[in-house]
Amino acid sequence: MALSATAKRLSLIGALFFGLCTALALLSSLGALISGAGVDQPVPLGPLLRQEFKDWYACGALSLGVLWFCGRNRLEPGRIKQWVLVHFAAACAFSAIYAILTSWLIAGEQSVAVPGKILTFSYLLKKMALHYVVLNLIMYWLVVFGHLGWHYYQRYRERELQAAELGRELVEARLDALRLQLNPHFLFNTLHAISALIHEDPEAADRMVARLSDLLRLSLDQSKPQEVPLSEEIAFLDSYLEIECTRFGDRLKIAKEIAAEAEDALVPFLLLQPLVENAIRHGIEPREETGHVNISAQRSNGRLELRISDDGAGLSGKASTGAREGIGLSNTRSRLQHLYGTEFEFELADLPQGGLEARIAIPYRLEVPAA
């Protein structure tokens, strides 16, 4: 039958105390042997080992009892005086029990200091009570303060873990809120496109409605993780592009260059759609001639680089880069910051040949790192 977690913990503590007491008994015996090496009468090894081991094992057994007592009488705010009085009384009891138990265990052994003398219970008890009472009290309080320190360390670790968990939940909530903000924005723009086609090309409008239904089902799926493989994100983007290509016809040309090694890399869900929408809205829609949107992804120096470019007017005549960042790109930047901290790059820049490029660089990884 498998041991419970409490039983395993108690077994581990018992084993640690047994090992510690064994080591201390051996060290104490070694010290006695070394200190008696220069005298005429050598220290008898057998009686020495028996006495040291009995002494330290008794100390270990009683220390386990002290730990149990500490667990039942913890230091609480406002009860310091009561805590000190309770443990002072327990320290006196520990000293008395330790003296009696050790005297009883060692009684009948040969004296190490006086050859031929047999140690009696009354002699040992008197010696323990007179000469070791302070040491016994010190030993008790060492165990108490050791337990107290461990208890506060455990509480500190628990608070750290709780704070980390709360921080993670807060980030998840913010990311969900940012992602959900994209849905009405995306829905409004697509419905606007459908309304423009519904009288001119009913069949095309019908196809767009069907595709929009698929996209909304995916985008509103709350079971979706924050990050998905790039291949899955590209599949979602293809459905969106089918709507846009139906809307613009020959005026929109799409080119994709996705490196094979980049397909399994994780990217934020709904990352590419706002970038492509931005390129179409500002680079393609304002003009009559055919426009091109290029989508590329590759691995470079341990990072995943994503580029969305168009051959429109770029940032010319705009006051700043922010002038072309609507809710989609603004939320994209916020999501990247929440997911990667400072480990990302996101920039919009004019291309030498004309047009605009949105570039994102994020850590290349195939699985979400453990929290």
Tell me the per-residue pLDDT of 195-238, one tens digit each, with 9 for 90 and over. Answer: 877 887 788 888 888 888 877 777 666 667 788 899 999 988 89
Residue 35 vs residue 213, higher pLDDT: 213
Using an 8 Å Cβ cutoff, are 362 and 230 in contact? no
Domain ranges for the chain, please list them.
Answer: 5-131, 180-363
- Residue 256 CB partners (closer than 8 Å, separation 6+): 234, 294, 295, 296
Tell me the per-residue pLDDT of 164-185, one tens digit each, with 9 for 90 and over. Answer: 775 665 556 555 555 555 556 6
Per CATH, domain 180-363 is 3.30.565.10: yes
Tell me the per-residue pLDDT of 42-60, one tens digit each, with 9 for 90 and over. Answer: 667 787 788 888 888 888 8
Residue 290 vs residue 285, higher pLDDT: 290
- Residue 219 CB partners (closer than 8 Å, separation 6+): 182, 183, 186, 236, 270
Residue 44 vs residue 15, higher pLDDT: 15
pLDDT of residue 32: 74
Residue for token digits 């929009």? 212
Residue 130 vs residue 278, higher pLDDT: 278
CA distance 309 to 233: 17
**Residues shown for the chain:** 371
Instruction: Please state the rounded mean pLDDT for residues 136-155.
Output: 87
Backbone angles phi, psi at 288, to 5 degrees: -90, -30
Residue for token digits 């069949």? 203
Tell me the per-residue pLDDT of 106-125, one tens digit each, with 9 for 90 and over. Answer: 888 877 766 667 888 888 88
How sure is the predictor about 320, in pLDDT bands with cuts at 50, 70 and 90? very low
Identity at 336, one-letter amino acid code:
L
CA distance 282 to 274: 12
Residue 70 vs residue 304, higher pLDDT: 304
318 pLDDT more than 80? no
pLDDT of residue 236: 85
pLDDT of residue 365: 92
364 pLDDT more than 90? yes
- Residue 238 CB partners (closer than 8 Å, separation 6+): none
pLDDT of residue 1: 44
- Residue 224 CB partners (closer than 8 Å, separation 6+): 218, 269
